[in-house]
Structure formats: C-alpha cells, structure tokens
Amino acid sequence: MINVKNVSKHFANETAIDYSDITFEKGKSYMLLGASGCGKSTLLNMIAGILSPETGSIEIAGEDMSKKSQKEKDKFRIQKIGYIFQDFKLIPEMTVMDNIGILRLEKVDISDVDNVLDSLEILDKKNKKVKHLSGGEKQRVAIARAIVKKPEIILADEPTGNLNFSIGEAVIKQLIEVSKGKTLIAVTHDERLGKYFDHIIDMNEVTGGRRDV
C-alpha cells in the first residue's frame, strides 16, 4: 500500500503543487489523468524516490520514503519499483539484453528475462540494438526492464505517449497483463485506455494544478 499524505512540492520556477491525500492499494492498477503540469509525473517521481516532497510523507508498505537518504531511495527503487519512462530511457547503442542487463550492476536477478521478453513478444529482438527497434518495441523493452526484477510497484509515466493508439493500446494490455498482482500506477492523457485499469484518478482534482509561491 502507498499512502500520500499532505505532500507538496516546490519548483524552481516559483510554483508549487499541493496534493490531497491519496492511497494506492496493493495489487490494483491506477490510471492518473490530468492536464499537463498538474503534478502527475511529479507524484510518480516522489513515489520512486527520484524527487523529495517538501512537506508531508509518502509511505510505501509502512516505510516513509521522505526520511530515506538518496542511497536508500536508490536501493529501494532498484529492489521494489519498476519505473517505465515516456522516453524509454534506454541506451540506443546497446542491445535489448544489455539494456536490461544494466540491472546486474546492482545484482538484480534477471534470470526470467526470456520469459518476460516472450510475454511482450520481443524475444526475437533480444540481441538487437535498441536504435534499430520501433517505438512500440522500445516501449516494450522499457516495460521488460521494469518488470523483469519482479517489483512490487510499477510506475509508468505516459508509457503510450510516443506511440499511436493501436500500438499504445497493445502495450497497455501487455503492461496490465504482466503487472497482475502488483501495484501499477500509470500516467496517461488518453482516457480511452481507462477501461483497462482498476481505478482512474483525475489529478486535476487531487492537486488543483500548480500555484504560484
């Protein structure tokens, strides 16, 4: 379970976002909708320990993320969180396998990689360089890297943002499929994909958008 309580985050451009309390239950999938700048990605980054909230707390399974050092947050993220980025965050010159293999630097077990790639229908691309893959394939590689370590939480920041609807829909279906039993929080602008998630949260209502400080 993830509890977001009284969280606010200030930005360098003298704006801030205040979050209402939200709870994400274990094993459920959530779709975060909302206008640009309303704080969707910021919330994911705070849950992942990439950003730190100025006020309030983010508790994951009873542990307060805001009290952890960056090193502890990194460790938590590599062990328990699978993060899927909109722009994939892959090294184009490396192969699919090498991109996933980066996790070995932190001694993450990736022995299930073939099954994961197979379930995402990209096993045949395993030894291809990422730069030679299509957008949909790259997004699947990013998903594979996020889920191969069997995380408890999967965070997806606009996973279909760079894909057309049909490919994006296929990717979301696969993401939902491989995330069964885990907590999935996905940010997306496309309401049509909402039917695949357990819950849809309108972030405009949660934060009310940015305010000047």
Partner 1 sequence: MFKFALKNMAIKKAKIILIIISIVISACVGILAYNISEQVDSGFKSTAAYYDMIIGPSGSSTQLAMNTMFFTEKPLGTISYEYVENLQKDTRVNKVVPFTMGDSYNGAKIVGTSPDFLEGKSVKKGCLYKEKFECVIGSAVAEKYGLDIGSTLVTSHGLTAGGHAHEGNPLTVVGILSKTKTAYDNVIFTPCETVWATHDHGGEDEESHEEDTTHEDENTKSGHTEDEHHEESDNHDHESEDADHGEGEETHGDHGEVCAILVKSKSFNAYSQLSAEYGENSKLLVINPSEVLREVLENVDMSTQIVYILCLIILIMNIFIISVITLLNMYDSKKEIALMRLIGIGMNKINLVYIIQNSIIGFISTILAFVFSRICLMLMGGYVASMGIVLDVAKIYPLEIAIMAVVFVISVLPTIICTLNMSKKDGINE
Q: Is 91 in the site for partner 1 (CB under 8 A)?
A: yes
Identity at 64, one-letter amino acid code: D
- Which one among 125, 138, 145, 210 touches partner 1, defined by CB under 8 A? 145
Shortest distance in whole angstroms from residue 49 CB to partner 1: 8
Which CB atom, from 20 or from 70, has the smaller least distance to partner 1? 70
Which CB atom, from 69 or from 166, has the smaller least distance to partner 1? 69
Residue 115, both tokens: 């099954």
Output the DSSP codes for 8-37.
Answer: EEE-TTSEEEE---EEE-TT-EEEEE--TT
In the DSSP assignment, the letter for residue 64 is E
Residue 141, both tokens: 């590689």
How many of the chain's residues bind partner 1 (CB under 8 A)?
30
Q: Is 180 in the site for partner 1 (CB under 8 A)?
A: no
Shortest distance in whole angstroms from residue 9 CB to partner 1: 10
Is residue 141 within 8 A of residue 162, CB to CB? The reply is no
Q: Treating both helix axes as pointing N-terminal to C-terminal, what angle do 135-147 and 165-178 enclose, rounded to 10 degrees?
A: 10
Q: Is 75 in the site for partner 1 (CB under 8 A)?
A: yes
Shortest distance in whole angstroms from residue 192 CB to partner 1: 28
- Which one among 19, 24, 30, 85 touches partner 1, defined by CB under 8 A? 85
Phi and psi angles of residue 55, each rounded to the nearest 5 degrees, phi first: -130, 165
Which CB atom, from 90 or from 156, has the smaller least distance to partner 1? 90
Shortest distance in whole angstroms from residue 74 CB to partner 1: 5
What's the CA gap between 52 and 7, in Å, rounded? 10
